[in-house]
Chain A
Amino acid sequence: MLQITNLHANVGDKPILKGLTLSLNAGEIHAIMGPNGAGKSTLGYVLSGRPGYEVTEGEITFNGQDLLGLEPHERAAAGLFLGFQYPVEIPGVSNVQFLREALNAQRKNRGEAPLSGAEFLKVAREQAGALGMDMDMLKRPVNVGFSGGEKKRNEMVQMGIINPAIAILDETDSGLDIDALRIVGDGINRIMRKPDKAVLLITHYQRLLDYVKPDFVHVLDGGRITRSGGPELALELERDGYKELAA
């Protein structure tokens, strides 16, 4: 489904990703772990086409299509979703308005009819409800004044509404309290664990993986995948840390 081959990418003039190869098939959940500054968020940005993140070598295909030729909004329309490590505030724009416009822009891009206000609200209400977020929050400006955990939960509500084919979730678990972690974990399973979908889960801790069982775990270090394995690799990392692994 997503095929990353020998990816090299710069941020500004600085090389961050240095020959990263990774392949996700439909129905799979992959976890990526790695030390601070390894390039995990950079990978998420490169996948979703953030300006300023320049691919110098390698390729990315998504369902056989060259992803690098697409603008960020076209990648979104193609079914790619990035859950942000630091969700962004947009003052004066309500969550509802933001998501409805975003979703309808995606639908338009795909040649689908827009959702009416009522149709959209129905979906939004369902998803917010499933993630334990009340409607008042959906009416508030995007992420403005949200707590850290609320922002992360909001990312998942957005994912539920947009219903993407592939999600890159960048530390969605950090900042969540114990109950929220479970709710978000359940949400990821409910929305994304489908035979035609895939997830790239960026995380520092095993605790999210207790809820969302990965099929594969990779270590990203120094801009490349240094080790891959099954769920047991995460436990090993938690026990020994990255230093031990590198040694």
Chain B
Amino acid sequence: MNEDMDIKDKAAWDAADRVADYEHGWSSDIETDFAPKGLTEDTVRFISAKKNEPEWMLEWRLKAFASWKTMTPPDWAKLNVQPIDYQDAYYYAEPKAKPKLGSLDEVDPEILRIYEKLGIPIAEQEVLAGVEGARRVAVDAVFDSVSVATTFRAELERAGVIFRSISEAIKEYPELVKKWLGKIVPMHDNYFATLNCAVFSDGTFVYIPEGVRCPMELSTYFRINAENTGQFERTLIIADKDSYVSYLEGCTAPMRDENQLHAAVVELVALDDAEIKYSTVQNWYPGDAEGKGGIYNFVTKRALCQGKNSKVSWTQVETGSAVTWKYPSCVLNGENSVGEFYSVAVTNNYQQADTGTKMIHNGKGSRSTIVSKGISAGHSNNTYRGLVRVAPNAEGVRNFTQCDSLLLGSLSGAHTVPYIEVRNPSAQIEHEATTSKISDDQMFYAMARGLNAEEAVTLIVNGFAKEVLQQLPMEFAVEAQKLLGISLEGSVG
């Protein structure tokens, strides 16, 4: 008994020591231009003006802001969140040496250095100088509120692919943006989505024209650097008929004692025979071992599988954030459309995650697959929440859901909350769920072969999450495997 307590104490101390080295936990001295603190109509106007937005965009934002003021935050998730003081934050932070978009030479070298430190290849020449045949990834790097570089633009343009910061797209492709912005996630969808509509700062816009297979992977790296700053990015990806794109999203933030808010909206639309593969590795600062600080991650991600045979596949590895509230979903309108959700969510110390998906089957013969792997350690709580809905006239729908939870230690919680609403009797819905612990036998077996306790846990956890990890593009998979290990440090004892 006593020894048990000692071990736990030790684990807590070890964890405290280690949190000091959250890998991306440094902040950088970039001179930053802030919007005045607080959130009023003026803040919204300030952001819109900063971005030289057209009038329609400002009106849209103001409408959202007016609604937001009348809304209340959702309280149905299994999360314990301190009330957020929306007036005590900055809603816009821009690196002062303002980079000209699209030209890497003019990006503040300090910012480039930060991205280098993060291991993100935004310098095209470096990528180009790489090994022959190595996969190239075009990157949009968002630093606080501003997109600082979009690489490989010319090459993508030759293929007809539009890869822009959303701010640019609003000005350059207003018709495309107007057609889809807020159509997948409506302005009034939820508290955080509405807030995002009002104050979104930047983000990524992608359009893949009919019949085009995007010649490289597209990716965005988000980093919150400035203190007391919320990040509200907005992503819109449109895959026209018979097109394909694979998109990667990665995130980091420095360590701060205060909680920082991140409320993103991601909208995807796939037309006939189009496919979008969307992968996320979310590694925002999770807070320290006592639960102090960390990112509040309230994200709305939704895909519209509008066309026949369209397909959207969400893969997420969620290891960061103090609180994660996130349900990447698919609205399967198209006949024989396909939605997939592959998720690994790790919580340690006092992290809380309430995450899952919604598969809304409106189209005949639409199919969905959900594979969720939750790993809880320390005092954390990890909830899978998922909805599978089949509309009355959607014949021949199929869903398979697999929800596995792995518990480390005895103080963490794993919860599974599946909602199934079937209004068509032809639907085939399968749901499997398991909860397990890493066994002493497994730990000892791995250690007897030479792995230390943390390496053993990392190996076993990676095995547990394998079905999901193997969905990730190669570069991401390696990074994700390492992350699982890092985020579970201090959890063995």
Contact = CB atoms under 8 A, between A and B. Distances in A.
Contacts of B445: 84, 87-88, 90
Given A73-B450, A73-B451, A92-B465, A101 B444 contact: no
B442 A88 contact: yes
A216 interface: no
B463 A93 contact: yes
Given A51-B444, A88-B442, A105 B464 contact: no
B459 interface: yes
A90 B447 contact: no
B459 A109 contact: no
B129 to A, nearest CB: 23
Contacts of A77: 450
Interface string A57-97: 00000000000000111011100011010011111110001
B444 A162 contact: no
Contacts of A75: 448
A18 to B, nearest CB: 23
Interface string B454-474: 010001101111110000000
Contact of A101 (B448, B455, B465): B455
A105 B455 contact: yes
Tell which of B445, B448, B453 has the most Cβ of chain A within 10 Å.
Answer: B448
Contact of B451 (A91, A101, A162): A101
B463 A91 contact: yes
Given A90-B459, A90-B463, A91-B464, A98 B446 contact: yes
A99 B466 contact: no
Classify the secondary structure of B's interface with A: helix
B375 to A, nearest CB: 12
Contact of A52 (B440, B447, B453): B440
B478 to A, nearest CB: 13
Sort chain A's interface into a size bin: 20 to 34
Given A52-B440, A88-B441, A93 B459 contact: yes
A101 B464 CA distance: 17
A134 B434 CA distance: 32
Contacts of A162: 449-450
Given A71-B447, A87-B445, A101 B459 contact: yes
Contact of A76 (B440, B450, B463, B464): B450
B305 to A, nearest CB: 29
Nearest to B445: A88
A225 B385 CA distance: 58
A203 interface: no
B435 interface: no
B191 to A, nearest CB: 38
A105 B448 contact: no
Contacts of B455: 73, 101, 105
B447 A73 contact: yes
Number of chain B interface residues as a range: 20 to 34
A97 B439 CA distance: 19
B452 interface: yes
A92 B467 contact: yes
A87 B454 CA distance: 21
A105 to B, nearest CB: 5
A92 B447 contact: no
Given A90-B459, A93-B459, A101-B455, A48 B448 contact: yes
B452 A71 contact: yes
A52 to B, nearest CB: 7
B342 to A, nearest CB: 14
A247 to B, nearest CB: 37
A108 B462 CA distance: 21
Residue picked from B445, B453, B455, most chain A C-beta under 10 Å? B445
Interface in A99-122: 99, 101-103, 105-106, 109
A76 B447 contact: yes
A99 B449 contact: yes
Contacts of B453: 71, 73
B452 A102 contact: no
Contacts of B444: 50-51, 72, 88
Contact of B449 (A49, A52, A91, A102): A102
Contacts of B450: 73, 76-77, 102-103, 105-106, 109, 162
A97 B462 CA distance: 11
B463 A92 contact: yes
A90 B442 CA distance: 7
Contacts of B440: 51-52
Contacts of A51: 440, 444
A54 B464 CA distance: 31
A119 to B, nearest CB: 17
Interface of B: 439-442, 444-453, 455, 459-460, 462-467
6 contacts: A48-B448, A71-B447, A72-B444, A90-B463, A101-B455, A102-B449
In the A-B complex, the 3 residue pairs with the closest CB atoms? A92-B463, A93-B463, A92-B466
